[in-house]
Structure 1
Amino acid sequence: MTEFELQLGLDYEVADKATLILNIAPARTAAQIVTGESLSLFGAEHSDWYTDRLNANRFLRINAGKGELSIEYACRIALAADFTPIEQLGERSVADLPVDTVRFLLPSRYCQSDRLGEFAQAEFGKLPPGHVRVMAVRDWVRKHVRFQSGFTNPSTSAVDTLVDRRGVCRDFAHLMIGLCRALSIPARFVAGIDYSDGPRDDPMDFHAYVECWLGERWYLFDPTGLCAVTDLIRIGTGRDAADVAFASIFGAVKCAAPRVEMRRVAGTTPVPLPPTHGASTSIHALGDLGQDVEAARPVRLMPGAIAA
């Protein structure tokens, strides 16, 4: 396993009263073990945690009055990916798919697969089904969409990105998801952390990936090509970005840029994706599913205190 330490800082100015719902705590899965967490809140009147039973995402709800609000979250994570030879990663017919994957075939707010069918079939319909076809979709998005910050907005959809050919990781992911669903391949949105070893010119930030159901599991793909899928720290999973926004704000609030820091723990090394293999980190630990976090919590959480 590779171990990471993650620190997040969020700063807000609340004009009056406001409620914020934050999706910032990494998911607890069999492949991603959260070994310790801490949370500090300054300016909050009340907070509680809850778990989305459908996707097992963890949310922090904060009620705040007028003034400054600051959130400091930190955790330590052990991550292990499972690798499968790509010849085993075939597509399954809709009739044979597990029932809980079927909803990821359907159009969603930002992934209008019902409007992408003709294009997807013309571009990818004659390719061999399975990993080869999914990689062709990923590579097409990577080649034809230019990464450009500030061009798109929170309302930009997969169809918009197909037309404009510009966007950020969220837009790349939505387009790949929409095209895969149009080919009857279940696909879903993964929100995580943009991590890479070594110096970088841009600040560390949240990142968006794609998972497709191939063979018997979900497998990771990054249409932007910015990060290694084996270093993805999973925060949330859903149909599209609407399910995993890192902050949903109800009230008049000014936001500063998030402060994100992640480091690989000394003595642990990167686990590269083996050639001709797919990577998966999707399986949830049984004890983490469908179990709500208690509403009442101290502001300071001891290592391992948050349950999901």
Structure 2
Amino acid sequence: MKILVGCDLGYQASGPATLILNIQPAETPRQRVLRETLAITPEGTRTESWTVPGTGNRYLRIHAEAGTALSIHHEAEVELSPHVVDPAGVSQTAPAELPPEVLPHLWPSRFCESDRLERLAQREFCGTPEGHARVTAVCNWVNDRITYLRGASAPTTTATDTLLSGAGVCRDFAHLAVALCRALGIPARFISAHAPGLVPPDFHAVFEAFLGGKWWLFDATRQAPLDALVRIGQGRDAAEAAFAEIHGAATPTGMAVRAEVLEGLDVARGARTTLAVADAAEAP
């Protein structure tokens, strides 16, 4: 499957500013960047880039002087080889059998206060079958109770804030689902991605749960086909996987995001939102 992704971002610096962007697709065994273009204006703007070992998150740091109007253009053609299986065969992993590197994804984090949701999670989900079915039940529960509403949340909104308000965007859906999974003893982590078929086009937030010795993708918003998601970043929550951080005096002036399937998938097939799709960083 080949997917074309990209974005155009604009920022105005009224004083010295540093931007840290995580907008480029990760390179994984099942996600290969075939070609890529990155252009920053004004020419000569000081930049640095690096990839974080273990996560594949690719960061771009941009330094802007006062008065600079920054423009960032990115485009990449990505080849995906998703690993899709029958969800019924994806079992739950007992905490005693979790690899040490997975354990931090059981703990509460800045935006996912799982320790505050344990009684709710036990009451709502302990009667559901374990494994992929239980995480799917969490997604269904979040989707039924939270209204997708742009402008309903802020950058500081947490999972419990979303639960109380009853509305949010993809980031909030992911945070609440992650927190509920962790409260059930299921490791979960936040994923930022490009999502073909998303209306309107934007960066998308989903999550992964660790089941049966692997990470599996889930989208509580049900807005995008799981097997066409192009992974950008991962973290315990959005604090570790934001597409942009601004340090200093700079404000956004524009954003346009693109994700188009070139070959290999009809994104109109909505049933593909409930598949069991393994983490692209693994090669089962």
Shift of 1:274: 7.0
- The yes-or-no answer on 1:95 pairing with 2:67 is no
What is the correspondence of 1:104-183 to structure 2 with a 5 Å cutoff? 104-183=105-184
The question of whether the paired residues in 2 share the 8 Å contact of 1:90 and 1:215 is answered with yes
Shift of 1:100: 1.5
Aligned to 1:39: 38
Q: TM-score, normalised by structure 2?
A: 0.93
Aligned to 1:300: none
Change in Cα spacing, 1:268 to 1:276, as seen in structure 2 (3 Å) is closer
Shift of 1:20: 0.4
The question of whether the paired residues in 1 share the 8 Å contact of 2:219 and 2:273 is answered with no
Change in Cα spacing, 1:48 to 1:121, as seen in structure 2 (3 Å) is same
Aligned to 2:59: 59
- 2:276 pairs with 272, 275, 278, which one? 278
Same amino acid, percent of matched pairs: 39
- In structure 1, the gaps of 5 or more residues are 286-308
Aligned to 1:258: 255
The question of whether the paired residues in 2 share the 8 Å contact of 1:83 and 1:274 is answered with no
Q: TM-score, normalised by structure 1?
A: 0.86
Q: How many residues align?
A: 279
Shift of 1:185: 0.3
Aligned to 2:48: 48
What is the correspondence of 1:286-297 to structure 2 with a 5 Å cutoff? none
Superposed CA RMSD? 1.9
- In structure 2, the gaps of 5 or more residues are none
The question of whether the paired residues in 2 share the 8 Å contact of 1:28 and 1:284 is answered with no
1:175-222 CA-partner distances (Å, limit 9, x unpaired)? 0000000000011101012321xxx8x531001001111112111111
Aligned to 1:238: 235
Aligned to 2:264: 268
Shift of 1:85: 2.0
Aligned to 2:27: 28
* Greater than 4 Å deviation, 4+ residue runs: 271-277
Structure 1 CA distance for aligned equivalents of residues 280 and 2 of structure 2: 17
Q: Aligned partner of 1:55: which letter?
A: T
The question of whether the paired residues in 1 share the 8 Å contact of 2:226 and 2:275 is answered with no
